[in-house]
Amino acid sequence: MERLHQNQIYTGTVEGYSSEGLGIVRLDGAVVFVPRAVRGETVDLKITKVMKTAAAGEIVRIHAPSPERMEPECPYFGRCGGCDFQHMTYAEELWAKRQRVQDALERLGGTDLRVEEIVGAKNPHHYRNKSQYPVGADGAIGFFQARSHRVVPIRRCLIQTETSDQIAQAVGEWMRRYRVSAYDETTGKGLVRHIYVRVNRRGESLCCVVVNGGRLPREPELAAYVRAAAPRAVGVVLNTNTRRGNVILGDRYRTLWGQDFLMDTLCGLTFKLSVPSFYQVNRDQAEVLYGKALEFAGLTGTETVLDLYCGTGTITLCMAARAKRVIGAEIVEPAIADARENAARNGVENAEFFCGDAADVAAELETQGLRPEVVTVDPPRKGLSPEVIASIAAMAPDRVVYVSCDPATLGRDVKLFAAQGYRAVQAAAVDMFPGTRHVECVVRLER
């Protein structure tokens, strides 16, 4: 191919989108990734970086804007790294996400399975029930700029709840009033690192302040500021994280006021959520996703279901109503404690929970001769290890229902399952994270 030159201007047509939400333009056989592009547009673009097999560019002129292009509603778009698709219609965003899942299944999964649908959100704004605000060394509270750790100060976010934003601003006011220092990750000095807020269906909230130390000055005043900003707050918790690095939460918690948990309802069940508990951030779309997982599981009431990476037991307990027996496994101890409580609270008597690594639990249950008819998995972004896939296959379930937040690792794992005799037969996507490039998908595999 003819080599592209940095700072040169070229003309090309946007063909589609990358997994990061960037537009894709092909020039002389090279792929150019272009931010804020919309499929179908012919653009003049300046090459900003040339790599071995690809290049990066930026739009300098759009010949004719796509009817799917729109003015971003968010004033921070382009500076804050939180959202990727504010420059296009929601319909086009859904097309991009469905295509991303389709591409991953075809290219990485080696399957010709068609993604049957993508279910969009009824309301793509203010859907996040969990918010994590980094605090910059200068005291700025907001979200990181794309590909950096510079905090863009944000007062009002289109995808967080108003309550979360108000609590974050209140903590900022308390810091300024009492001169409480912010953490500086370059020096490891300073106190406040993150502000973490959960909000439930009823509008109640739980605030956790993550600090580089065991205590804060003026702790009663901090609780008062939070309660004034969010009268329906149920608790203020302090989390200690003195380790360097990107992990947000440390292991130690102390309640400054109220309670250290929040109750919420999902799929008609009641859940207790402590700060570290995994829980889907978009409640309405989680109900859609779990409904799809339940449909793919094809339960008749006679099955044993094993749910790996069960968190606080949300999928496990949703499956329980239609299965004979359900078993949940999760490595986070507080989440398993919550899961057991959640089962008791909802009167679910056919569920049991184990704490441990997914591979270890699967191998242990396999040695006990457990043969579940259905295995469900909802792993973190990195997907499943080959050991977990081998252990699942050794149990020989009839069906595996794979819920994934990363189409790339899902595609990789679908191929590994195929080598173990499991074929992907159904796939759907659910837009859990409107405005961002992230998408949830669910695949049914059969032996």
Dist. CA 133–CA 286, nearest whole Å: 22
What confidence tens digit (pLDDT) does each residue in 253-269 have?
999 999 999 999 999 99
CB contact set of 417 (below 8 Å; sequence gap of 6+): 389, 393, 400, 402, 424, 445
- pLDDT band at residue 407, thresholds of 50, 70 and 90? very high
Phi, psi of 445 (to 5 degrees): -110, 145
pLDDT 10s digits, 164-218: 999 999 999 999 999 999 999 999 999 999 999 999 999 999 999 999 999 999 9
175 burial via Cβ count (<10 Å: 0-12, 13-18, 19+): buried
Residue labelled with tokens 């997994």: 19
At residue 335, the pLDDT reads 85
Among 379, 345, 349, smallest CA distance to 362 is for: 379
Supply the pLDDT for residue 247.
93
Report, as an integer, the average pLDDT of 148-162.
95
How do the domains of the chain map onto residue ranges? Answer: 9-62, 94-122+282-446, 130-260
Averaged pLDDT for residues 38-42: 97
Chain mean position to CA 12 = 33
Give, rounded to a whole angstrom, the gap between the first and last alpha carbons of the chain: 44
- Whether 9-62 shares its CATH topology with 130-260 is answered yes
Q: At which residue do the structure tokens 């409107």 appear?
A: 434
- Can you read off the two tokens belonging to residue 205? 């909230």
The reported pLDDT for the residue numbered 50 is 93
CA separation for the pair 246, 149 (Å, rounded): 10
How would residue 278 be classed by pLDDT, with cut points 50, 70 and 90? confident
Strands 304-308 and 205-211: unpaired
* Listed range (76-80, 347-351, 401-405) with the worst mean pLDDT: 76-80
When pLDDT is cut at 50, 70 and 90, the band that residue 28 belongs to is confident
CA distance 249 to 330: 18
Q: CATH: 3.30.300.30, 1.10.1660.10, 3.20.20.140, 3.40.50.150. Which one for 94-122+282-446? A: 3.40.50.150
- Average pLDDT for the chain: 95
Sign of CA dihedral 21, 96, 409, 196: positive
Q: How confident is the model at residue 146, as a pLDDT? A: 83
% of residues, the chain, pLDDT over 90: 88
Residue-wise pLDDT tens digits, 230-241: 999 999 999 999
Residue 15 tokens, joined: 């063909």
Instruction: Work out the pLDDT band at 2, boundaries 50, 70, 90.
Output: low
Residue 9 tokens read as 């201007």
- State residue 364's pLDDT score: 86
Q: Higher-confidence residue: 277 or 173? A: 173
Is residue 1 pLDDT above 80, yes or no?
no
Report angle CA 92, 93, 94 to the nearest 5 degrees. 90
Q: Count of alpha carbons within 13 Å of 98, Cβ hemisphere only? A: 15
Whether residue 195 contacts residue 165, with contact meaning beta carbons closer than 8 Å, is answered with: no
Q: Tens digits of per-residue pLDDT, 101-149? A: 999 999 999 999 999 999 999 999 999 999 999 999 999 999 999 888 8
* Topology adopted by domain 130-260: OB fold (Dihydrolipoamide Acetyltransferase, E2P) (2.40.50)
pLDDT over 90 at 376, yes or no: yes
At 361, the pLDDT band (50, 70, 90 cuts) reads confident
Which residues are part of the catalytic machinery?
405
φ, ψ for residue 273, nearest 5 deg: -120, 115
- On whether the CB atoms of residues 73 and 158 are closer than 8 A, the answer is yes
Q: Model confidence over 431-444: pLDDT tens digits?
A: 999 999 999 999 99
Between 362 and 65, residue with greater pLDDT: 65
Quick: pLDDT tens for 84-100.
Answer: 999 999 999 999 999 99
9-62 is classed CATH 3.40.30.10: no
pLDDT at 367 over 90: no
Q: What is the 3-state secondary structure (H, E, C) of the chain?
A: CCCCCCCCEEEEEEEEECCCCCEEEEECCEEEEECCCCCCCEEEEEEEEECCCEEEEEEEEECCCCCCECCCCCCCECCECCCCCCCECHHHHHHHHHHHHHHHHHHHCCCCCCCCCEECCCCCCCCECEEEEEECCCCCEEEEECCCCCEEECCCCCCECHHHHHHHHHHHHHHHHCCCCECECCCCECCEEEEEEEECCCCCEEEEEEECCCCCCCHHHHHHHHHHHCCCEEEEEEEECCCCCCCCCCCEEEEEEECCEEEEEECCEEEEEECCCCCCCEHHHHHHHHHHHHHHHCCCCCCEEEEECCCCCHHHHHHHCCCCEEEEEECCHHHHHHHHHHHHHCCCCCEEEEECCHHHHHHHHHHCCCCCCEEEECCCCCCCCHHHHHHHHHHCCCEEEEEECCHHHHHHHHHHHHHCCCEEEEEEEECCCCCCCCCEEEEEEEC
Whole-number Å distance between alpha carbons of 262 and 255 = 13
